Amino acid sequence: MFCYQCQETAGCQGCTQMGVCGKTPEVAAMQDLLIYVTKGLAEITTKLRDEKVTIEKKINHLITWNLFTTITNANFDEAVFIERIKNTLNVKKELLKKLSTHSSLSKAAIWEEYDIAQMKKKAAEVGVLATENEDVRSLRELITYGLKGLCAYLKHANVLEKENEAVDIFVQETLMKLLDDSLSVDDLIGLTLQTGKFGVDGMALLDDANTSAYGNPEITSVNLGVRANPGILVSGHDLRDIEMLLEQTQGTGIDVYTHSEMLPAHYYPAFKKYDNFVGNYGNAWWKQKEEFESFNGPILMTTNCIVPPKSSYKERLFTTGSAGMVGCKHIPGSEGEKKDFKELINLAKTCQPPTEIETGSIVGGFAHNQVFALADKVVDAVKSGAIKKFVVMAGCDGRAKSRNYYTDFAKALPKDAVILTAGCAKYKYIKLDLGDIGGIPRVLDAGQCNDSYSLVLIALKLQEIFGLESVNDLPIAYNIAWYEQKAVIVLLSLLYLGVKNIHLGPTLPAFLSPNVANVLVENFGIAGITDVENDMKLFFE
Ligand code: FS2
Ligand code: SF4
């Protein structure tokens, strides 16, 4: 196997024996093959569109879901990947019949094999290392990972019945281009920025989907303690899933808690009517082994963020949607279908209530609409000098001890600096008592990683209010932590919007070749992090 798609890749180079995440070589192989056949399918849909053939929505969704399933920590079940490959081959076969000529098709578009041994053989030939030129490989993978992140966001929008066909078309055209050996490094750099443009569109679509279904996030105090009832813990990012679970737990005596990236569900007005929606339990995804154990009740993983479970709670762990884990029950249901969570609810009734691991509360809900409502206050604070700088510390949390840098950095910030955040990176500092500036908390949490879109809107609004030419003229620094592929699409989106001098940590992606890293450094001022003392000087002197 060879995988270097996330920040925790072995030795900052690549996982070759077994994923640090727990991904086996068998799963890695089938993920590689799924990406390969999906590129082939995307080539066919793109060529059919050129011939004015309409591509059905369900095929767009199949492609989106295929990419999403290969995201870090989403699905560890080889059988799921084999099934998705076969399904994709079936769809491909039917679409090929509609195409006027097959003469210019790539091997990926025409490859077909249902025998498992043959699939494994093919998988070994089509992984990341199949591209020999390291700069082309680097750019192809940078784009692929951006598309995976984008597809995660598209899927969340799709379950809320929102579509943007232009984004689907771009995803498919780009997947086709990733098969094209005639594309130069410069072409691929252009395609990388284009991916960022559609990343913005994808996040805007999801923002619209979330806010039109559940209202605009608002300032909310989220309880960190527990009650005496048994509970169900929900992790991942899928708001439609938690909505269905909240509906089905009404009157059952079962409480519902969020974990990690599901915390922002509390910020949406639509979920406030459920009095069994108690609070947030625990921290970021990587702490789940201890926290799922002490939770005592069933856990629902709605998307990526799974750590291979301990046997002590494996029977209580359920997956749904793109998530999957061998030995854990999967709750079926696709877009538009009602999922049945009875099994979790019945199991919860037999479980002990959660063991309390902390008390108190955290405050969040500072997505664009809420911050715009506070704009006068924020602008006054900037004008009076009470706020001197905003620091975007959005992104991901992870296992590496080096990530304690972000806690130390938050603590060391001057008292007139405000942190803007989104994603699970917030767990490194949101529970510190950093105080407020004239009633504005010093940590403004917009929500999940995709709500980085809100941070962009806030920056653009401030640029407009202050009449600045460029978003880079604002007193905003970017110190972003990354882990998986959704952070890649957020980064590409920021680059597309012209944001410069982003610091990325705790390490730069292993998939950036020295030359590609140089392009990012020279054109966008991308840099890594060093230590808190140095970086404070860099940002504040
Ligand atoms: Fe946490 Fe990073 Fe949200 Fe993941 S914010 S590790 O991309 O999807 O989570
Ligand atoms: Fe390694 Fe990350 Fe790939 Fe898992 S997702 S195999 S940890 S690079």
pLDDT digits (tens, 9 = 90+) for 161-200: 999 999 999 999 999 999 999 999 999 999 999 999 999 9
Which of 203, 152, 197, 206 lies closest to 174 in space, CA to CA?
197
The residue contributing the CA closest to ligand 1 atom 3 is 449
Distance (Å) from CA 424 to ligand 1 centroid: 6
What is the 467 CA–ligand 1 centroid distance (Å)?
A: 33
pLDDT attached to residue 284: 98
pLDDT digit of tens for each residue in the chain (541 aa)? Answer: 999 999 999 999 999 999 999 999 999 999 999 999 999 999 999 999 999 999 999 999 999 999 999 999 999 999 999 999 999 999 999 999 999 999 999 999 999 999 999 999 999 999 999 999 999 999 999 999 999 999 999 999 999 999 999 999 999 999 999 999 999 999 999 999 999 999 999 999 999 999 999 999 999 999 999 999 999 999 999 999 999 999 999 999 999 999 999 999 999 999 999 999 999 999 999 999 999 999 999 999 999 999 999 999 999 999 999 999 999 999 999 988 999 999 999 999 999 999 999 999 999 999 999 999 999 999 999 999 999 999 999 999 999 999 999 999 999 999 999 999 999 999 999 999 999 999 999 999 999 999 999 999 999 999 999 999 999 999 999 999 999 999 999 999 999 999 999 999 999 999 999 999 999 999 999 999 999 999 999 999 8
* Cα distance between residue 257 and residue 234, in whole Å: 6
Nearest CA to ligand 2 atom 5: 72
Is 383 annotated among the ligand-binding residues? no
Q: How far is the CA of 518 from the centre of ligand 1 (A)?
A: 26
* CA-proximal residue: ligand 2, atom 6 (nearest): 19
Q: Which two tokens stand for residue 116?
A: 């498992």
Q: Which strands form 476-481's sheet, in the order they lie side by side?
A: 443-445, 417-421, 389-392, 476-481, 502-505
How far is Cα 85 from Cα 4, in angstroms, rounded to an integer? 22
> Whole-angstrom Cα distance, residue 280 to residue 460?
31
**328 annotated as a binding-site residue:** no
- Complex prediction ipTM: 0.97
Cα(373) to centroid of ligand 1, in Å? 27
> Which ligand 2 atom sits nearest the alpha carbon of residue 18?
6
Q: In degrees rounded to 5, what are phi and psi of residue 527?
A: -145, 165
Give SS3 for 150.
helix
Residue 25 neighbours by CB distance under 10 Å: 17
- For ligand 2, the distance from its centroid to the CA atom of residue 529, given in whole angstroms, is 22
Which residue type sits at 160?
Answer: L
Q: What DSSP line would sit under 468-500, residue for residue?
A: -S-GGGSSEEEEEE--SHHHHHHHHHHHHTT--
Beta-carbon count within 10 A of 190 CB: 13
Q: Delineate the domains of the chain, giving CATH numbers in brackets.
A: 10-213 (1.20.1270.20), 220-349 (3.40.50.2030), 365-540 (3.40.50.2030)
Nearest CA to ligand 2 atom 2: 6
Does 148 carry a binding-site annotation? no
Atom of ligand 2 nearest to the CA of 4: 8
> Which of 95, 238, 94 has its CA nearest to residue 154?
238
- Point out the ligand nearest to the CA of residue 486: 1
Ligand nearest to the CA of 446: 1
**pTM summary value:** 0.98
**The two three-digit tokens of residue 538, written as one number:** 């860099």
Query: Is 155 in contact with 64 (CB distance < 8 Å)?
Result: yes
Cα 156 to ligand 1 centre (Å): 14
290 in a labelled binding site: no
Q: Which of 17, 21, 399 to mutate to test the pocket of ligand 2 (most atoms within 8 A of CB)?
A: 21
User: What is the CA angle 329-330-334, rounded to 5?
Assistant: 165
Which tokens sit at 257?
A: 């808690």
Close Cβ partners of 228 (under 8 Å, ≥ 6 residues apart): 353
Nearest to 235 by CA among 256, 261, 198: 261
CA atoms 424, 428, 429, 430: torsion sign:
positive
CA-closest candidate to residue 394, choices 457, 450, 436, 434: 450
Q: Exposed, middle or buried by CB within 10 Å (0-12, 13-18, 19+), for 534?
A: exposed
What is the gyration radius of the CA atoms in the chain, in angstroms?
A: 23
- Give the binding-site residues of ligand 2, using a 6 Å CB cut-off: 3-6, 8-9, 15, 19-21, 23, 72
Nearest ligand by distance to the CA of 5: 2
